[in-house]
């Protein structure tokens, strides 16, 4: 099946969870590149402020106040996009919630809410988008996580939801390809991104939560998403640390679990409480509008693994050239020397 996605500057892009973190980074970069953007989140005040700022720069923006976990809200997002721009071309399922604590500490309501937002919100968004995009083609982009491959202490519910997202994304892709639908389905797998996620999560810990290192700039997720909006890709990883975590879990699960048991909690607590006004958005929205978290952490601004995935041909050529240089050097080193 062959079809071509539109350039980003010709697209209408729906972004859920657009009021902060990865979602805000995606929305801002999409607008900067010339796309029309539909901003979706629970906080109307935050969305309107963001929309006004983007429109002041010449962007085409529509706002939809919605909770992807509530019946009817996801369908209404599509209605808003069509009413404002006549269509949408890419749908980004980014909205997510989380909580820090053991599986036993979290209430069943906490677990259900996380699954309702992170999995069922993504699932319904994907199905609504697929129904619309079957007619003219486009992209569905789901934000997964490295924790969709490898669980970690204190974020069990979040990891479970991302495992589900990974499975649902793969299944939907296969079904659409079987039907010959002109729809690209991409899973984005970020490592730890320097978003306000930890500061906005519900926490049962005795110290402020944080995201485990290494941390990366959320704008790298935006770059991956907008690349996938215009280029068909099955999966894009953001942050090499995530690749190593997934690989370790796959090839040495016992060792991986030992390291997580030993260091998992220490790597997810901080002395820096961050912004107290952001705390606990699991059931209610809080002040938003920041791409990055307020905790003072070391952040990487480049992802080599993402660049390699965006240019697989060039990467393969560079690896082959490097291997050839190494082979020639080794042969010369091993060659018998004349006395």
Q: What is the CATH number of the domain that holds 284?
A: 3.40.50.720
The reported pLDDT for the residue numbered 184 is: 98
Is residue 328 a part of any domain in this protein?
A: no
pLDDT at position 315 over 60: no
**Average pLDDT value for the chain:** 93
Is residue 167 a part of any domain in this protein?
A: yes
Is residue 165 a part of any domain in this protein?
A: yes
Pure H helices in 10-155: 21-32, 44-56, 73-85, 108-115, 121-133
Is residue 281 a part of any domain in this protein?
A: yes
Residue 117: pLDDT band (50, 70, 90) is very high
pLDDT at position 212 over 50: yes
Catalytic residues: 158
Global pTM value: 0.91
Percent of the chain with pLDDT over 70: 92
Long-range CB contact pairs, 297-300, < 8 A, 24+:
297/194, 297/210, 297/211, 297/213, 297/215, 298/213, 298/214, 298/215, 299/194, 299/215, 299/216, 299/217, 300/214, 300/215, 300/216, 300/217, 300/239
Q: Which residues contact 87 (CB under 8 A, 6 or more apart)?
A: 12, 81, 132, 136
Domain containing 112 equals 8-302
User: With contact defined as beta carbons under 8 Å apart, do 77 and 14 qualify?
Assistant: yes
Is residue 312 a part of any domain in this protein?
A: no
Q: Which residues contact 184 (CB under 8 A, 6 or more apart)?
A: 5, 138, 139, 140, 228, 232, 233
pLDDT at position 203 over 50: yes
Q: What is the pLDDT of residues 240-280, one digit of tens each?
A: 988 888 888 888 999 999 999 999 999 999 999 999 999 99
Is residue 91 a part of any domain in this protein?
A: yes
Is residue 139 a part of any domain in this protein?
A: yes
CA dist 81 and 121 (Å) reads 17
Residue 84: pLDDT band (50, 70, 90) is very high
Tally of domains within the chain: 1
The reported pLDDT for the residue numbered 282 is: 98
Q: What is the pLDDT of residues 176-193, one digit of tens each?
A: 999 999 999 999 999 999
Q: Which residues contact 64 (CB under 8 A, 6 or more apart)?
A: 38, 39, 40, 47, 76, 77, 80, 81
pLDDT at position 232 over 60: yes
Q: What is the pLDDT of residues 91-115, one digit of tens each?
A: 999 999 999 999 999 999 999 999 9
pLDDT at position 317 over 50: no
Percent of the chain with pLDDT over 90: 87
Distance of CA 25 to the CA centre of its chain: 11
């Amino acid at each position: 099946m062959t079809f071509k996605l539109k350039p980003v500057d010709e697209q209408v892009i729906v972004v859920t969870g657009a009021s902060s973190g990865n979602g805000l980074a995606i929305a801002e970069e999409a607008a900067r590149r010339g796309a029309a953007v539909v901003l979706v989140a629970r906080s109307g005040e935050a969305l309107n402020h963001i929309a006004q700022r983007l429109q002041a720069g010449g962007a085409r923006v529509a706002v939809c106040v919605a909770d992807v976990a509530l019946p009817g809200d996801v369908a209404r997002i599509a209605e808003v996009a069509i009413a404002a721009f006549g269509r949408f071309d890419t749908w980004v399922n980014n909205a997510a919630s989380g909580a820090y604590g053991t599986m036993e500490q979290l209430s069943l309501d906490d677990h259900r809410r996380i699954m309702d937002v992170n999995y069922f919100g993504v699932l319904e968004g994907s199905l609504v988008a697929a129904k619309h995009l079957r007619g003219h083609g486009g992209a569905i982009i789901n934000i997964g996580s490295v924790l969709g491959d490898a669980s970690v202490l204190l974020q069990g519910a979040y990891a479970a939801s991302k495992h589900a997202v990974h499975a649902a994304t793969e299944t939907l892709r296969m079904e659409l390809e079987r039907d010959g639908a002109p729809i690209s389905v991409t899973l984005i797998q970020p490592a730890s991104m320097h978003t306000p996620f930890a500061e906005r999560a519900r926490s049962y810990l005795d110290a402020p939560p944080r995201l485990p290192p290494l941390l990366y700039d959320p704008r790298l997720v935006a770059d991956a998403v907008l690349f996938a909006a215009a280029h068909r890709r099955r999966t894009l990883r953001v942050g090499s640390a995530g690749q190593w975590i997934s690989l370790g879990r796959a090839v040495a699960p016992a060792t991986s679990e030992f390291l997580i048991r030993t260091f998992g909690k220490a790597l997810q607590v901080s002395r820096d409480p961050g912004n107290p006004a952001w705390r606990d958005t699991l059931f209610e929205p809080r002040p938003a509008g920041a791409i990055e978290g307020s905790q003072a952490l070391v952040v990487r601004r480049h992802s080599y693994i993402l660049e390699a995935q965006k240019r697989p041909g060039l990467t393969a050529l560079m690896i082959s050239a490097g291997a050839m240089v190494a082979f020639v050097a080794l042969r010369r080193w091993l060659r018998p020397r004349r006395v």
